[in-house]
Structure 1
């Protein structure tokens, strides 16, 4: 069991140790020095020592590679063992950590596509964050396709959500008396907190948020068997050629969007849409305009 008292800074450092060690086979004090702007080899050595105390036997020092390597019994404690964690570290230097670009131990250049960030007004985000933290009502002028000029709404946000393309809040809407998604970029300036949220706004009552649905995806049957097999490999499907993804019901639509799975009558060619939903009847209640 990992010590819950480990500080946030140490957890971040331990996360890097595990991810680099797992996916490169070696992690060194120089990784820590460059990634966290540590000037002292003694300090970075102390981080390895601290990690060894909370995750004994996970990393072992190897004189031959002049660094630490994963042991045969290595088990991630501060990471999840997923490739995307490594890729995230390798691309993070472009936005969060410029020093990471200088790592000599990076095996190959990496790059990622940067999706333009839609402009969220800082004052709007601050009010939304405050409302979620204090469980407050929030009065906003909200613009939508049906009301592009905007109309006043009173909402009670409980969670900020990044859908992969934009930020929104999951909130109780007093006008519609239902939990809905409100895109932050569509909120005008001047949002105001109005006091405690109503009892109906309790997040526990947001059934589509609290409950999950299993999204089952498979290769598009319009592809050749060889192409379907390749798609199955691309997405790490099981022997049944299915990718099974549990997701909050309220986030089902966004998951399909991120995987380029088109819902409804507008269909792409099999090459353009290599994945299809295997269980559409289970998802239909949670897909917009489904």
Structure 2
């Protein structure tokens, strides 16, 4: 969440032009990561004039005068010990996401700061989804339409035709699927985009949507705690690592997403019997979660 600016004579942050907010956000991120920023980095990253870069830095100084000072020796604006975020959320997740995007060559920081930390990221193999599969699904969700598609389930040898009304795209940490109403099964189900074998064809207006999906509209809290066999000091470290509050991490989820999440977090039945060196957290409320997941 962005903070209010320190200067009542300036317009509120949400009234600044989008491109100005973007430049100030990346300026602030650079300041956080490398401890400094200058006009050269801004001009090379955004293709703006030196005069415009100077205006951006001056504006940021007016909005947060105690966040940075000019160091004549370094010829850079440097961070102060009174720094308080203005535009960047007060968490590491946003900054780490930017660094991860930069590693793939997709990010905004590559030419902004001269001293980014070294980063290496391991990611699962990206599952290929053809645009001719994805785009009709997106359009059907938007238009509330049914789709007719040939689908290859791993439960059968041959592909079969399904008619579904999709309502939500879901990424489960490894693969993309679509949640929707199946005419054949007469229920809401999940279908992997990668198993659709032809271009989905429009099949008229849908009749059952997300509001009719009872399980989708039902929420459950998945509660995780450090493994009970961990010594107290190790349990404290695990709790800190996962950002637990009072020794527990509680995540509220739509019930169809619970099976994916428990697999992603590697918690579930039998986790308390496992060696805590290899399963540091366990599911604490199995009785509540069990109706929505098959372990």
TM exceeding 0.5: yes
Question: Structure 2 vs 1, CA of residues 76 and 3 (structure 1 numbering), >3 Å: closer, same or farther?
Answer: closer
**8 A contact 1:58–1:74 mirrored in 2:** no
Distance 2:170 2:32 in 1: 30
- Deviation by residue 1:54-82 (Cα, 9 ceiling, x = unmatched): xx3377541137326479583544x4322
Partner Cα separation in structure 2 for residue 4 and residue 104 of structure 1: 25
Residues 1:237 and 2:244 are matched in the alignment: yes
Could you list the per-position Cα deviations for residues 81-131 of structure 1 after superposition, in whole angstroms to 9, with x for gaps in the alignment? 221211122221233437744555334211111321111121001111111
- DSSP 3-state at the match of 1:209: coil
What 5-or-longer segments of structure 1 have no aligned partner?
none
Q: Give the match for residue 279 of structure 1.
A: 285
Query: Alpha-carbon deviation of 1:32?
Result: 3.7
8 Å CA contact 2:218–2:254 kept in 1: the answer is: yes
CA-to-aligned-CA distance 1:132-176 (integer Å, 9 cap, x gap): 111111111112221242211111112222111111112122222
Question: 1:57, 1:71 within 8 Å by CA — same for their partners in 2?
Answer: no
Distance in 2 (CA, whole Å) between partners of 1:248 and 1:96 is 33
Distance in 1 separating the partners of 2:41 and 2:171: 30
- Choose 1 or 2 for highest CA Rg: 2
Distance 1:38 1:150, change over 3 A: same
Q: 1:204 aligns with which of 211, 214, 218?
A: 211
Deviations 1:232-271 (A, max 9, x none): 1211222x3111222232222222222222x335874322
* Structure 1 residue aligned with 2:9: none
Contact kept, 8 Å, 2:145 with 2:204, in 1: the verdict is yes
1:127 pairs, out of 124, 136, 154, with: 136
Work out whether residues 42 and 48 of structure 2, in 8 Å CA contact, stay in contact via their aligned partners in 1: no
Unaligned runs of 5+ in 2: 5-11
Is the Cα–Cα contact under 8 Å of residues 23 and 83 in structure 1 kept in the other structure?
Answer: no
Q: Does 1:118 align with 2:127?
A: yes
Residue 84 (structure 2) pairs with residue 74 (structure 1) = yes
Aligned residues: 281
Aligned equivalents of 2:110, 2:83: Cα separation in 1: 31
Could you say if the C-alpha distance between residues 225 and 148 of structure 1 is closer, same or farther in structure 2, counting changes exceeding 3 Å?
Answer: farther
1:264 and 2:269 aligned:
yes
TM-score (norm 1): 0.81
Residue 185 to residue 276, structure 1, CA distance change in 2 (3 Å): same
1:110 and 1:187 map into 2 onto residues whose CA distance is 36
Contact kept, 8 Å, 2:34 with 2:113, in 1: the verdict is no
Q: Cα distance 1:157–1:275, how it changes in 2: closer, same or farther (>3 A)?
A: same
Q: Aligned partners of 1:212, 1:269: CA distance in 2, in Å?
A: 31
TM-score by length of 2: 0.80
Say if 2:165 is the partner of 1:159: no
1:189 to 177, 194, 198: 198
* Cα distance in 2 for residues equivalent to 1:286 and 1:70: 50
Aligned residue for 2:47?
38
Structure 1 residues 40 and 233 mapped into 2: Cα distance closer, same or farther (>3 Å)?
Answer: same
Specify the SS of the correspondent of 1:207.
Answer: coil
Take 2:281 and 2:274, find their aligned partners in 1: how far apart are those partners?
11
Q: 2:177 & 2:65 partners in 1: Cα distance? A: 39
Matched, 1:91 2:91: no
